[in-house]
Amino acid sequence: MYDVCVIGCGRVGLPLALAMYSNGLKVVGIDLNEDLIGSVNEKREMPFNEPGFEEILRESDFTIINARESFPDASTYVITVGTPLMQHIETDLSHIKKVIDKLIDEDKIKGRLIILRSTVAPRTTQLLKKYIEQKTNLKMGYGFYLAMCPERLAEGMALKELYQLPQIIGVEDDKSYEAAVYIFETFKVEMIRCNFITAELSKLLCNIYRYINFAIPNYFTYIADKFGADVFEVFNVMNKDYPRNAGLKSPGFAAGTCVPGYRKIKVYETAESKRCVGDITFKDLFENFKHYYVDSFIHKLEVAAKKKIINCTHRKFTGVMVRVMFDFEGEEYFECTEDHLIPMEIDDETYIGKSNTITPFMKVYRFKNGGVVKERVKAIVTYSVEDFDVYNLELETPSKQDDLFYVDAITGLVHHNCLRKDFGMISENMPHSDLLVQAYKVNEFMPKFYVDKVKDKIYGKAVAVLGYTMKRDADDTRDSLVPKMIRYIERLSPQSVMIHEPNLPMGTTIIDKENDFEFLNNWYESAILRADVIFIAMNHSVFDNLTIKHFDTGIKIVDIWGVLKQNNLIVEV
């Protein structure tokens, strides 16, 4: 018998399952997605980008079973299936109900703990309690156990936050609480006991609070435009040395799952650690480097080891940056300055040095998930930058290749987006319009607002859209508002619409089932080469160093996130 069976191994379930496995629990997964199952079971690869978990997966025997088969026997079933919002502001509980029905049909409720981890509408857990009791004649707290334990992690931060954030445990009997504690105490975090409704609302209201916070600057954008002012200039003026506006966000799209967008490095507590403590920003590492080890390359990068950081220095750099993009799906770009030596090989024997000698199709040594690999270079972009933050790590007992050089990209306007469906889980209980509905309307209006700003310039012209996913540096397209914006662009009969999303495979057709959208993912140069109008739709780090000097004269740019730092929403080159 397994300790835990995680039902739904997507972006919430799979990291949780692997972390529980790493904690020493006997864990199995369940999912319907055959591509995901093949990626995990056969390729031993994460089907999406979540730092730190590919190493855990590769070193484990964790498997996922097809949900069409019988569920394996387990002491605890964790439900992390989707709970979408239906067309008429109605929460869709069909996926959860199918799971419960199958557990009942296979006689796998009695004596088990059922943990609901999906985001659900208020009173859903109570509804499930009554539903199970009615169908089985078992009583909660005696015949079966039930807990609402919401997930509150940010994509890209799961490995760190699972071991840092308090775990909310919503229960209504002591036995269910004890059973849930047995599972989550393996993370060694604080556990907060409350009842079902409090646990449900704690998740919903966290997301709604942030969603409303983003509606405020977006509505300010609309107000500024009505009076002929540019919102970025207004924000700069009103926020300058004014501490009471510190919490005011910047305008932009708010729709997807929560993901912070800072450049980070993996750190370890000891040289023997197999699992990293987490990903730390260079700025934080600069301020607190004394207790960490990092991956170090030894002798032509043929061997990797962990070495203690003994110093971390910071300086500003002005000059030319070379961004080398590798042919590895989902991996972040490697950045270096012109004087940085990148060990590489052209063939099996030749070993050369400087970054300005790199050309596409070369194979370059690179550290990846616990081992050294050689990856094909797929593109190189050169930037002129000013006051770029450069961090240098000095390691204990350095060898020729040990002095690691890192560049911390300047972050633009970082948004922590939240699930827009959550407002509906509250609003379906209200007959009147309220603050939640108004926030939803404001945020959903923004794609049309941005397109309308240049609607007279689109007919018969070539349009480029830079960025497609729902969040800075994310590969997640769920609930992105960019497809909606593109549909508004297409209504105006442009000659073409070219999309460039650096976090998805380049030069391939992207089939986005979540948004019922299909597009060719153009290379950056191809997308902007013939463009008359450009929308910077997402503030990915690869765009951080763009300036108007990178664009041809006569182009109109809709700079949604203020990436170009021109204090103008519409930038004319």
Domain stops at, among 407, 425, 449? 407
Torsional sign, CA 28, 34, 36, 38: positive
In a domain, 204, yes or no: no
Domain stops at, among 407, 434, 465? 407
How many domains does the chain divide into? 3
In a domain, 45, yes or no: yes
Q: Are residues 398 and 432 in the same domain?
A: no
Between CA 443 and CA 390 the distance in angstroms is 36
The series of mean pLDDT values per 10 residues for the chain, 573 residues long, is: 95 95 96 93 90 89 94 96 71 88 95 94 93 95 96 84 93 97 95 96 84 80 84 81 71 44 57 62 62 55 59 63 49 38 36 37 46 51 53 57 32 33 64 73 87 93 93 83 93 93 88 87 86 92 84 90 86 88
- Orientation angle between helical segments 482-490 and 435-452, nearest 10 degrees: 50
Residues in the chain: 573
Q: Are residues 19 and 82 in the same domain?
A: yes
Residue 87: which region, alpha, beta or left (left: phi > 0; alpha: psi -120 to 50)? alpha
Q: 3-class SS at 431? A: coil
Q: Are residues 187 and 244 in the same domain?
A: no
**Taking the complete model, does pTM exceed 0.85, yes or no?**
no
Which residue, among 353, 410, 396, 407, has the nearest Cα to 561 in the 3D structure?
Answer: 410
* Cα–Cα–Cα angle for 143, 147, 153, rounded to 5 degrees: 155
pLDDT on residue 472: 82
Between CA 467 and CA 175 the distance in angstroms is 48
In a domain, 353, yes or no: yes
Structural domain for 241, as ranges: 213-255+415-572
What are the angstrom distances between the C-alpha of 541 and each of 128, 358, 363, 474, 557? Answer: 43, 22, 24, 10, 18
pLDDT on residue 172: 96
pLDDT on residue 558: 93
What are the angstrom distances between the C-alpha of 217 and each of 79, 230, 239, 245, 438? Answer: 36, 12, 12, 12, 13
In a domain, 199, yes or no: no
**CATH code: domain of residue 394:** 2.170.16.10
Tokens standing for residue 509: 């057709």
What are the angstrom distances between the C-alpha of 239 and each of 153, 210, 413, 436? Answer: 30, 20, 14, 26
Q: Are residues 179 and 280 in the same domain?
A: no
Q: Are residues 9 and 109 in the same domain?
A: yes
Q: Are residues 449 and 497 in the same domain?
A: yes
Q: Are residues 49 and 89 in the same domain?
A: yes
Q: Are residues 439 and 567 in the same domain?
A: yes
Q: Are residues 7 and 75 in the same domain?
A: yes
In a domain, 200, yes or no: no
Q: Are residues 363 and 427 in the same domain?
A: no
Q: Are residues 311 and 390 in the same domain?
A: yes
In a domain, 90, yes or no: yes
What are the angstrom distances between the C-alpha of 471 and each of 2, 62, 386? Answer: 36, 29, 26
- For 350-390, what is the HEC assignment? CEEEEHHHCCCCCEEEEEECCEEEEEEEEEEEEEEEEEEEE
Q: Are residues 396 and 345 in the same domain?
A: yes
In a domain, 208, yes or no: no
Domain stops at, among 374, 407, 440? 407
In a domain, 207, yes or no: no
**CATH code: domain of residue 98:** 3.40.50.720
Tokens standing for residue 263: 């450049």
Q: 3-class SS at 138? A: coil
